[in-house]
């Protein structure tokens, strides 16, 4: 992986754990570069490879440099930018830190749900503009978190963590996920509904689906039009899940709130209408691990590398049969 990515994510204490573990031999304390002859010699010996943000695609060509590779422990979330399907076809085990990275996203989402319900961002803009004396409840009759309906799109790892964190609040949780069995929904304590019904009933709508051909643009113009006035839309998943132009048009009416951490194109273009629409709170993809939270990713990747070296399997390996869906 690139040196800056390595320095940002990996803690020295985790490198020392690799050095001292008797079940493995650490071949390099720094990232390896396939373009360097000495590094290629090391790559040829590697059985367990730790990857991260910026790692080049491990495809059939790259695998020629890794003849002994048995496992990949990815220190990021999705492995799609790093692992070509040929890796799983050849029986190479793959693990991801998606579960570790899901924790701060769920925490951030919960914060947005509560702050959005309190109209905190609207109130902050009023204070900044010197208009803090206006009654918030007059502008937004539906305000507060108690008794509200929260709609979750996607029973992903993050979606489930958000549902778990909502249990302590007095509200109703709806869930849309066509892959979820009703028994699982009951175990989660949520009401499974169709997407249109979820959009129409939710006071707060939070997206947690993966970006797949079947989900891109799923929150389209028609569904955005169905949202009731005062609805808060939260997206900490992927920007291409929704129609941004249709959302901007609805926001310009002033009766919708959007709290967006992701965009279809990142960084969000300077000419994007979302930069100027009212009731819009934008952040630059910060819901995932940043700062001190990156330590979870470092520890997870090292834990998985040690587990494979010790037992021959990952603790959180990706099921090769469902690789395209879960990667």
- Could you list the active site residues? 238, 266, 285
The 8-class DSSP code of residue 49 comes to: E
Contact predicate 227/199, CB 8 Å: yes
Dist. CA 297–CA 74, nearest whole Å: 9
Of 298, 294, 302, 297, the C-alpha closest to 21 is: 302
Instruction: For residue 241, give Cα distances in angstroms to 114, 144, 252, 317.
Output: 22, 27, 20, 26
Place of tokens 């990996």: 10
Q: What beta strand segments (E) does the chain contain?
A: 48-51, 71-74, 93-95, 149-153, 172-176, 191-192, 204-207, 232-235, 257-260, 280-282
The 8-class DSSP code of residue 217 comes to: T
């Amino acid at each position: 992986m690139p040196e800056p990515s390595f320095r940002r994510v990996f803690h020295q204490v985790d490198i020392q754990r690799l050095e001292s573990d008797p079940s493995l031999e650490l071949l390099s304390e720094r990232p390896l570069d396939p373009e360097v002859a000495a590094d290629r010699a090391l790559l040829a010996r590697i059985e367990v490879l730790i990857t991260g943000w910026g790692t080049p695609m491990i495809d059939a060509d790259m695998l020629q440099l890794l003849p002994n590779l048995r496992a990949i422990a990815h220190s990021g979330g999705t492995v799609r930018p790093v692992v070509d399907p040929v890796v799983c076809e050849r029986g190479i085990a793959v693990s991801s830190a998606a579960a570790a990275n899901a924790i701060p996203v769920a925490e951030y989402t919960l914060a947005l749900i509560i702050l959005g319900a309190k109209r905190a961002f609207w109130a902050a803009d009023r204070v900044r503009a010197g208009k803090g004396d206006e009654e918030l409840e007059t502008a937004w009759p539906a305000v507060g978190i108690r008794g509200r309906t929260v709609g979750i799109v996607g029973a992903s790892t993050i979606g489930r963590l958000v549902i778990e964190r909502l249990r302590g609040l007095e509200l109703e949780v709806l869930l849309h996920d066509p892959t979820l069995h009703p028994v699982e929904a009951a175990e989660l304590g949520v009401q499974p509904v169709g997407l249109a019904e979820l959009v129409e009933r939710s006071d707060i709508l939070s997206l947690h689906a993966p970006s797949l051909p079947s989900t891109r643009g799923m929150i389209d113009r028609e569904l955005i039009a169905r949202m009731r006035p005062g609805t808060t839309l939260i997206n900490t998943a992927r920007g291409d899940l929704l129609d941004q132009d249709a959302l901007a048009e609805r926001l310009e009416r002033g009766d919708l709130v959007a709290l967006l951490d992701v965009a279809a194109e990142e960084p969000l273009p300077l000419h994007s209408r979302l930069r100027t629409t009212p009731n819009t709170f934008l952040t630059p993809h910060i819901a995932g691990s940043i700062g001190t939270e990156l330590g979870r990713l470092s520890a997870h990747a090292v834990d998985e590398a040690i587990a494979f070296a010790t037992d021959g399997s990952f603790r959180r390996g990706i099921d090769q049969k469902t690789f395209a869906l879960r990667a």
